A = this chain, B = another copy of it.
Amino acid sequence: MTKTPMQLSRNEILDLFDLSAGADAIRNAYIAQSQDTVESPDVTYLGFPSARGDCHVKSGFIHGTEGFAVKVATGFYDNPAHGLPSSNGLVLLLSSETGQSLAILQDDGWLTDIRTGLGGAVATMALAQPNFSKVLVVGGGTQARHQAQCLHFLAKPQNIEFTFWARNFDQAKQLSSEIALTGLDTRPTDDLKEACSQSDVIITTTPSTSHLIHADWIRPGTHITAIGADSPGKQELDVDLIKRADLHVCDALSQSLDHGEFQSAHRAGFLSEKNTTELGHILGRTHPGRINDADITIADLTGLAVQDAAAALTVYRAALAAQDTKASS
């Protein structure tokens, strides 16, 4: 008999998702990626130029886990004019033992947002100086919020002072106020240079195609997690800053050097597979990571299909546990 897969709405997924379990799963995904104990085929792309739309299909499997994920994500950029969100999508989780569908997660892209937030926070925790407190978040979108909230969660009970900068100061003020309501210590800034020079950690989340952050704005010891650059031409950091950094970390060498934040430095010949380290090696303790307090470290995160699998498994396991609790009560 074929069992009907579990079907979960976005709201059910939000209720079920446990940040701590999610962070553990994301950490394991980074390690598995670097140990090459994953299946992570090329991303499928379909274009719909007449509707200004596209679709990406990403599939990922972490060896040894009970399920693999196929994520279908669409972006149709005329949707907002018709009152619809531009991003849509869902994640299928299938059994790695029988191939049967385990769950259909109609997350509308939320799992991608949260796994990116947790992925950034895991990188920041692994690479920043242990007692970091001043964190600058660059960008005024959804990912700015997720990065701050996930880092706040993972850093607890350490107190963090979050500063928000966005191209539009009103956006920074609004984001700062909104996030303050969820219990974080936040402030907006309109001076990116000054904020950079006073931060222990900088998290960049913009779709910028020209660098926002200059090499001489950064003080020794700063860690930077760069989230925004994930396709050819995107760049948030000055190549001189990348050159100046002491440690270069990424989620996947093949992606980062090709179309991530490190693409320009790679093409300019400063960075290669030899002097760039995958985060999974640091999390798995086969690379020491940050060595000196004064090191400038940069993590370039482009996003992994196995993080989608990790996030989907986190929800699925929580849903099964909730069913068990219900059944036994």
Contacts and interface: CB of A to CB of B under 8 A. Distances in A.
Interface of A: 1-2, 4-5, 7, 9-10, 39, 41-42, 44-48, 51, 53, 55, 57, 59, 61, 68, 70, 72, 74-76, 79, 82-85, 87-90, 92, 94, 96-101, 104, 106, 108
| Shortest 7 CB-CB contacts between residues of A and residues of B | A74-B99, A76-B99, A39-B46, A41-B44, A88-B99, A88-B100, A51-B97
Contacts of A53: 96-99
Main secondary structure of the interface of A (DSSP, over half): strand
- The complex is assembled from copies of this chain, and their number is 2
Given A59-B57, A70-B57, A101-B90, A96 B42 contact: no
A88 B92 CA distance: 13
Nearest to A74: B99
A61 B72 CA distance: 14
Contacts of A57: 44, 57, 59, 70
Given A45-B41, A59-B44, A70 B68 contact: no
Nearest to A83: B1
A90 B77 CA distance: 27
Of A51, A79, A94, most buried by chain B (CB within 10 Å of CB) is A94
